Amino acid sequence: MLDDALKSDIQAAYRRVIEARSLRPRYGQRLMMAEIARTLGDIRTDEQGKRVSQEHVCVLEAGTGTGKTLAYLLSALPIAQAQGKRLVISTATVALQEQVLHQDLPMLKASSGLEFEYALAKGRGRYVCVAKLDQLMDGAEENPTMSLFEQSLVSSQEDIGELARELAEAYGSGEWQGDRDSWPQAIADPQWRRLTVDHRQCTNRRCGHFGACAFFRARRGMDEADIIVANHDLVLADLSLGGGVVLPNPKDTIYVFDEAHHLPDKALEHFYHRQGVNASMRWLGQLKKSLTDLNTGLGAQHTIARLLGQFPDLLASIEPRLGDAFRLAQPLAERTPEDNERLHYRFTMGRLPAAFRDLAQQLVTPFAELSRHLETISDILRESLDPDKSTGLAREQAEAWLPLIALVHGRALEAHALWQAFGAEEVEDAPPQARWLTFEQRSGEAELTFSASPVSAAETLARYLWGSCHGAVLTSATLTALGRFDRLQERAGLANRYRYQSLPSPFDYSRAVLSVPREAVDPGDRDAHEGAIVDFIEKLGADEAALVLFSSRKQLRAVTARLEEETAARTLSQDDMPRRELIERHRKRIDDGQGSIILGLASFAEGIDLPGDYLTHVVITRLPFAVPDDPVGATLAEWIESRGGNPFMKISVPDASIKLVQACGRLIRKEIDTGRITLLDRRVLTRRYGRALLDALPPFRREIEGESAPATLAS
């Protein structure tokens, strides 16, 4: 149980912040703090400090205006410090990460009376490599075989040399901390690849520039921090490496996942594998061409010489089979794709014909062997950098060849993971792997990509995250679907025994109107629906601040083309300009007393913050059902159907409910906000699922014209 002294510390810190910031205590915020404190304070450990409690996770839906960040920081930090654990705050977006880092944490440190240190965690690839910087700044010649893989992506040595000098000067003077995100100008990906390293290429303490390393300087700051600000991708990447590699060990960590509704999708992305056949043939061919140079440079080391001697046979066993993969898949392409066009072929339920499975299994073994050989060579090269170890190689040789070997090792591992996932046997009663092919033309050259992904990350998250962490808090404004946590539990592997609560909103939603007007039509009649949208936009007031959300770019463009000139002059389309510029223009128009209409796609239904007069009308043109062309979603739907379930009601409707709540959430951002939400999709009145979607929305005042009885269950 949470002891009284710790409870008093949390309450006192909260009072100090409220008084210092002249804030008003919020009921939902206090409830959130109490629930987090109760969950984390009840965690029990054994004599070795290992967690034995199984109710160490709480899931809290808290809408805009609750004050989530302050609530979880004030309640989780004192408990983490008392239990000797580290607090990792993980967000899904850069905007929220920057808010926590640059606004919330400095405010908390200044106002709460709590003593703590905090740091930002980024992956190694976000930091410049000082060794590479030094090499490029001096104009030193890179290993000639690297040009086969990476150097051709950069226009000239002079370009990268000039940039390297600028970066080195700023880093050396302390004006720049060495991370890509804080450099004032964008650095192109091809150039940045030559300025950074991944964990395979990095030599850590064996590097002559270790003391000046930007990444390890940041790591040293993290070692002293009570709070580490990260993102979902970095947390998942760290877990995939075994945990405790970049971030603290999960067993010593309390995680707070803000924007937690993104976590299941982010997790799936980490287990998605793909391999382009021609791209693989190219790097394998380049490796074959490099063997002479590799033997000349590294053959004096007998283990490396022995392993390199096996490469020709390995490559000879891989290359013909990749050619077979292309020939085997070609008949499945319905037609030849044109330039910049992609055609997909998905295997039903992820089940492969025998020929494909056999081919995948034949490729797994040689790629596994190639990966092991490259790993061994990498390990020897790293040891050669240690002056206390004798490997038969000079340090200069190891330094020259390690980047290339590490690069090829990474590509071999990616190929092995793909073919392993593609050829794996199905587990009875377990969700399947989605497997599909992509045919495309790139600059006139055909490419075939094999892809595989699990349809659910639930089991992996349950085992490696929830099962291994000391404690966790998941929060977001939208965690329930149709008023229940079931969908999130299924997708994120969250156990029933964890704590779940939807916190009350501080907003008076009766200040806003939800309208389904008579003009709303069924989107099944595309022309009528498009016409209804055009007519509705034309009738919007000249001074209105509106956001019109579309489900497809094609329809957005079609509607835009049909608007009258006077109305078109008031519109700002996501199709025409970057998001930040669009928002700035919209705000300026409203500040100048003009009307402004934003035409946006699904991405504008989340993360857009336009309080007060900046947004008074949200128009949702269509219920946000996902487009049914995603191979992972389609495979999952087939699996549910095969087990007697209804994928539309089990997946599509709950997911649409979440997106609809998010879209409506653009309107009310502060307690004094008011306005209107208009839904131009009549299915919400005529289909059986419509009532469930409406009932899951906040309690807006409703104006629903021509309401009729629900008819069918079809979409």
Residues making up the annotated binding site for [4Fe-4S] cluster are 129, 202, 207, 213
How is residue 210 annotated by DSSP?
G
Q: Which of 551, 510, 534, 507 is nearest to 660 (CA)?
A: 551
How far is residue 126's CA from residue 197's CA, in Å, rounded to a whole number? 9
- Residue with the two structure tokens 């100008």: 185
In 3-state terms the chain splits into helix, strand, coil percentages (rounded to 5) of 50, 15, 35
How far is residue 81's CA from residue 566's CA, in Å, rounded to a whole number? 60
For 99-103, the CB contacts below 8 A with 24+ separation are 99/69, 100/69, 100/229, 100/258, 101/229
Label residue 163 exposed, middle or buried (CB < 10 Å: 0-12, 13-18, 19+). buried
Rg of the chain over Cα atoms, rounded to whole angstroms, equals 28
Helix/strand/coil for 467: coil
Q: How many of the other CB atoms lie within 10 Å of CB of 149?
A: 20
Q: Give the length of the chain.
A: 715
How far is residue 228's CA from residue 222's CA, in Å, rounded to a whole number? 7
The residues, any chain, with a CB within 8 Å of residue 404's CB and separated by 6 or more, are 143, 145, 146, 149, 290
* H/E segment holding residue 494: none
Q: Which two structure tokens, joined as six digits, stand for 87?
A: 């607090």
Q: Quick check: 109 and 116 in contact, CB under 8 A?
A: yes
Give the start-end residues of each E strand in 64-149: 86-91, 118-120
Between CA 420 and CA 428, with CA 426 as vertex, the angle to 5 degrees is 150
- What's the Cα-to-Cα distance from 415 to each of 253, 284, 549, rounded to whole Å? 33, 11, 40
Task: Measure CA 503 to chain center.
Answer: 26
- What's the Cα-to-Cα distance from 131 to each of 164, 181, 204, 430, rounded to whole Å? 11, 19, 11, 47
Label residue 615 left, alpha or beta by phi (over 0 means left) and psi (-120 to 50 means alpha). Answer: beta
Helix/strand/coil for 266: helix
How far is residue 93's CA from residue 88's CA, in Å, rounded to a whole number? 15
Helix/strand/coil for 268: helix
Give the start-end residues of each E strand in 596-667: 596-600, 617-620
Q: Which two structure tokens, joined as six digits, stand for 608?
A: 């857009």
Q: Quick check: 254 and 465 in contact, CB under 8 A?
A: no
Strand partners, 515: 678, 703
Label residue 497 exposed, middle or buried (CB < 10 Å: 0-12, 13-18, 19+). exposed
- What's the Cα-to-Cα distance from 12 to each of 36, 257, 299, 485, rounded to whole Å? 16, 25, 67, 33
The residues, any chain, with a CB within 8 Å of residue 659's CB and separated by 6 or more, are 602, 605, 624
Q: Annotated binding site: which residue ranges? A: 129, 202, 207, 213
Q: Quick check: 170 and 176 in contact, CB under 8 A?
A: yes
Q: Which amino acid is at 623?
A: L
Q: How many of the other CB atoms lie within 10 Å of CB of 363?
A: 26
Q: Quick check: 679 and 516 in contact, CB under 8 A?
A: yes
First to last CA, the chain: 49
